[in-house]
Amino acid sequence: MEQNEYSKIEVYLDADNEPIATYKPPAQMELDTSMLEDGEHTIKFIALDAGNKRSVKKINFVVRNGPGIAVDGLKENDVVEGKLKLILNSFGGAYQENWEPNRAETPAPIPTWMWIIFISIAAWSMFYFINQWNPSQQYANTPTYRSAEILPSDNIGISNISSINGAEIYRKSCSSCHQENGQGLPKVFPSLVGNDVVLSDDPSEQIKTILFGLNGKTINGVKYNTPMPGMADQLSDEEVAAVINHERSSWGNNSRLIKPEQVHKIRINKN
């Protein structure tokens, strides 16, 4: 007769004095942890052979069937002051069938850097679309899209500045960021309305900005980190002068107009 017929394994849980199950080896068992409290537990196996010799094996384990807790807005050892806004979530279901993982997701506000990336991508997309789009013949000759008449020449004695439409260049190259009304977007793209650079009698800084771009400029105490690309490779001297004159004479701005020659001088000297 085989020895296993006289052997047995008793299973004890925690401090119980009575076994929760007795098996004749080899055997399989199922431990339902959903019936246990969350926390530390010990399962003990006592084996007895035909000679009544016994051996003991203990296994410590931790049960986590209860709902988990997530806290957003406060971390371990944070130093805080004043009122805190916390986002709380509780999720469980580890032992449930057909449990949906999205129940464990904690809602959180969209970070500022993601908004900046989104706005930058949207602005670039609008810029690209406007530059690549041409109006159909039906609209090409309307006052909105047709070339402007020669700009007034009574500002600084400029005669025959250009027949180039500065407003159209602005719409295609600038309005996606600075907006059609020149107001820009707060903390992302600066406003051109009442802007000191646009109103200055010396147009050098405005010319440099359009030709060579700008990054990290602080205006009225606000730092604008979204870079402005330079237009030196896209716009001629005449086109740069036209768009600058549009900005200097629109939205209530009324500053000195410029000549293409001024743009050309800064372009070749880059200063």
Tell me which of 115-129, 146-160, 180-194 is least confident: 146-160
Over residues 233-248, the pLDDT tens digits come to 888 999 999 999 999 9
Does 155 have pLDDT greater than 80? no
Q: Where are the domains of the chain?
A: 3-28+39-63, 113-269
Task: Kindly tell me the burial class for residue 206, based on how many C-beta atoms sit within 10 Å of its own C-beta (0-12, 13-18, 19 or more).
Answer: buried
Does 230 have pLDDT greater than 70? yes
Question: What's the rounded mean pLDDT across residues 118-122?
Answer: 83
Q: 243 CB contacts (<8 Å, ≥6 apart)?
A: 166, 169, 170, 173, 174, 210, 235
What are 54's strand-pairing partners? 48
Mean pLDDT of the chain: 79
Task: Kindly tell me the burial class for residue 46, based on how many C-beta atoms sit within 10 Å of its own C-beta (0-12, 13-18, 19 or more).
Answer: middle
* Whole-number Å distance between alpha carbons of 140 and 160: 23
Angle of helix 237-248 versus helix 260-269 axis, rounded to 10: 120
* Whole-number Å distance between alpha carbons of 3 and 191: 92
Question: What's the rounded mean pLDDT across residues 220-227?
Answer: 78
Q: Which CATH architecture has domain 113-269?
A: Orthogonal Bundle (1.10)
Which helix or strand (DSSP H or E) is residue 132 part of? Answer: helix 112-132
